[in-house]
Homo-oligomer: A and B are copies of this chain.
Amino acid sequence: MKILTLISGGVDSTTLAYFLKSGGNYQEGVIFTYGQRHIKEKQFAETQGSLLGIKTTIIPIVLPVKSALKGSSEIPDGHYTDASMKQTVVPGRNSIFLSIAYAMAVSLRFDAIAIAVHAGDHTIYPDCRPKYIGIMESALQLGTDTEIKILAPFVYLPKRSIVNTGKTLGVDYSKTWSCYKGGEFHCGKCGTCTERIEAFSQAGVKDPTIYKEVK
């Protein structure tokens, strides 16, 4: 299968790319920037692309919407599923990412695009839920008269299972980035840092991440 994978430099999409590679698929990566408050994600996505030996394409998106991830407000500390994390929603982000990736897949004759949404995303991020992914796939297929698939193999998995999968596949998690704040080290207190810490802990996998402080 020829697959175009959305990679962000984080734990989930990095593991997804290794998982798909292990299945013997031809793979390329697409990296989206959309005015995030830092470029750490992009840098780590490129690093992981190199480690995987796959071609990556960077697509900058102009997106005039408000989100804490774009600097419209402070990044909230707390748990990944806290209501305060709604400030970190970029509305419809995955619709934009999937639409552009799908268009590339049609033009470049890929069989599928792949996205690393997982069960832990469902509470706060509606564009990570299974029903959304299914209907978006139908819409994109209808809109292009094609049958390219949207693969989301982790959509029902908790993050700890992703970490276990990646450990087996030899992912170097020290070269992935989660923190919303984008400092020199992971802050250890924002929603995605607490989720990362919890996932390694629950998976029983040694966390190679350096945290500025742990909540």
Contacts and interface: CB of A to CB of B under 8 A. Distances in A.
A161 to B, nearest CB: 24
A152 to B, nearest CB: 13
Contacts of A57: 64
Interface string A112-148: 0000000000000011010110011011101111100
A63 B100 contact: yes
A107 B143 contact: no
A60 interface: yes
A181 B163 CA distance: 52
State the copy count for this chain. 2
Contacts of A127: 142-144
A208 interface: no
A106 to B, nearest CB: 4
Contact residue range for chain A? 35 or more
A103 B90 contact: yes
B92 A99 contact: yes
A91 B107 contact: yes
Nearest to A103: B92
Given A62-B59, A62-B60, A64-B59, A129 B103 contact: no
Interface of A: 57, 59-67, 90-96, 98-100, 102-104, 106-108, 126-127, 129, 131-132, 135-136, 138-140, 142-146
25 contacts: A57-B64, A64-B104, A67-B107, A90-B103, A91-B103, A91-B146, A92-B99, A92-B144, A94-B143, A95-B103, A95-B139, A95-B140, A98-B99, A99-B99, A126-B144, A126-B145, A127-B142, A127-B143, A131-B142, A132-B143, A135-B135, A135-B138, A135-B142, A136-B139, A139-B139
